[in-house]
Amino acid sequence: MQISSIFCLTLAAAASAIPTQVSKIIGNVKRQAPVESSIWGNSITGSPEYYDNNWANVTLPFPISFYGVNYSNLWVSINGILSPGPEQIQYPDTSSAIQNHIPVDSIAVGAGQERPDLPWVPEKALFALWQDLFVENAPIALHAVWTTTSGSAPSRIITFSWKVSSEGVVGGQIVEPEFSVSFREARPYIARIEYTDVADKGINAVIGIQSSFSTGVEWSYKTEALFNGDILAVNLDTQTFNIS
């Protein structure tokens, strides 16, 4: 697949929220209806454009904790990666679709060189389903990557969702993974990864977390470790995993 240059954008510059936020009164409790915001396309109509190897920076409604440090921004990759912080993603011509074992060391990422033949990922990263993923444009497919925010402070939840295509094939059919990563304001150090549709059971993906190029935990590396409906809870501070 041709690797496009990384296209960075802020959530504020993305398409408008879908739908408009509406308050609901249930008993004596005022609740906010979930608000969907587009990163690349949306969950209903898909994407008007094709996206591959892109990154976007999202401002969070509440800070999350990653290895004991609070962050108010997350970088999100089409390739199933989240990275904390507002810092600019580097190496714009280097692919984050090329996988390696976690932690991905500085040699593997090209030792500071822009090398499209070597993997590149941020130093701090959560690999929810790291593989070569992309968003096909509608009407070819209804693919998208988006966020949904629900609840009111101090009980808000933000969810990052992927409905994308991949290079994987099962039974002659292209694998189109659907998965999400949620963060709760009440427990900002826990990432809840839900695998809605993983037809290849993760055989083409790498899952794990790293806090540096020398420290990380690899939960699975291109193995059949997942089933549809699996939920993987990741403690971002202790780098531990619990599947249910």
Q: Render pLDDT for 137-152 as a digit per residue (tens, 0 to 9).
A: 988 889 999 999 999 9
Q: Taking residues 211-222, what's their average pLDDT?
A: 94
Domain ranges of the chain: 11-243
Bin 146: left if φ > 0, else alpha if -120 < ψ < 50, else beta: beta
Any bridge partners for residue 159, and if so which? Answer: 148, 182
133 within 8 A of 166, measured Cβ to Cβ: yes
**pLDDT for position 167:** 83
232 within 8 A of 195, measured Cβ to Cβ: yes
Query: By percentage, how much of the chain surpasses pLDDT 70?
Result: 78
Q: What are the strands of the beta sheet with 165-166, ordered from one edge?
A: 51-52, 133-135, 165-166
pLDDT bucket at 235, cuts 50 / 70 / 90: very high
**pLDDT for position 104:** 86
Single-letter amino acid, residue 68: G
**pLDDT for position 94:** 55
191 within 8 A of 236, measured Cβ to Cβ: yes
Distance, CA of 203 to CA of 224 (rounded, Å)? 5
Asked whether the predicted pLDDT for residue 225 surpasses 60, the reply is yes
**123 or 129, higher pLDDT:** 129
